[in-house]
Copies of this chain bind each other. A is one copy, B any other.
Amino acid sequence: MKGKGSTKEELIFDATLRLVEQVGLSGVSMEAVAKQAKIATGTVYIYFKSKEELLNKLYVTVKLKFYGTISDGLNEDKPFKVLFKKMCNDYLRFFLEYYPETIFLQQFYNSPYVTASTVDATKGLLQPLSELLQRGKTEMLLKEMDTRFMITFLHGTIGQLAGFIRDQPVQKTYTDQVWTICWDALKL
């Protein structure tokens, strides 16, 4: 009997993420993944029919976990600014907490492995965030701006700042500045 959360798929996903962290996406070979997961090369192919499938499924999985994290509680009946702050903090926290996942997310998107269907599959996940921003505009708290533009801004900004913060010895100094900067940028 396997412990919770240790299916072979997850084993392989974990191995892949660890590898991406260590050597980058391009350093990920199927053999290396197998070795990292302590299984045979061929075993990986039982669960994923190709490297492309492995990476794309991992991407969707991570994106799901990511959007799950930042979407949580976004439609609660609370003042807009409170939810906005929470969202920014969740966003940042995910990036800081799940370093390998973040690295993978960034590197995969500009890799030759991405398939169109994967891009499609992850698009819908932005819905809750999108609705929150809409609400902000309706309440005349946010600028009148293309919502996709705002999302792009948030993603790029927080993602980049997370990378910066991660390298600092004392992170606390910065974490609060992130949501402030985002708020000031978008507020009316």
Contacts and interface: CB of A to CB of B under 8 A. Distances in A.
Interface of A: 23-27, 103, 106-107, 110-112, 145-146, 148-149, 152-153, 155-157, 159-161, 163-164, 173-174, 177, 181-182, 184-187
Nearest to A187: B184
Given A111-B24, A174-B146, A159 B161 contact: no
Name A's interface SS: helix
A157 B186 CA distance: 12
- Counted per complex, copies of this chain come to 4
A177 B152 CA distance: 13
A148 B164 contact: yes
- Residue of A110, A146, A148, A159 contacting most chain B CB atoms (<10 Å): A110
Contact of A161 (B107, B111, B152, B164): B152
A181 B185 contact: yes
Contacts of A27: 112
Contacts of A103: 110
A111 B20 CA distance: 11
Given A27-B112, A149-B164, A157-B185, 7 more contacts: A23-B112, A145-B177, A149-B177, A153-B160, A153-B181, A156-B157, A156-B159
A164 B185 contact: no
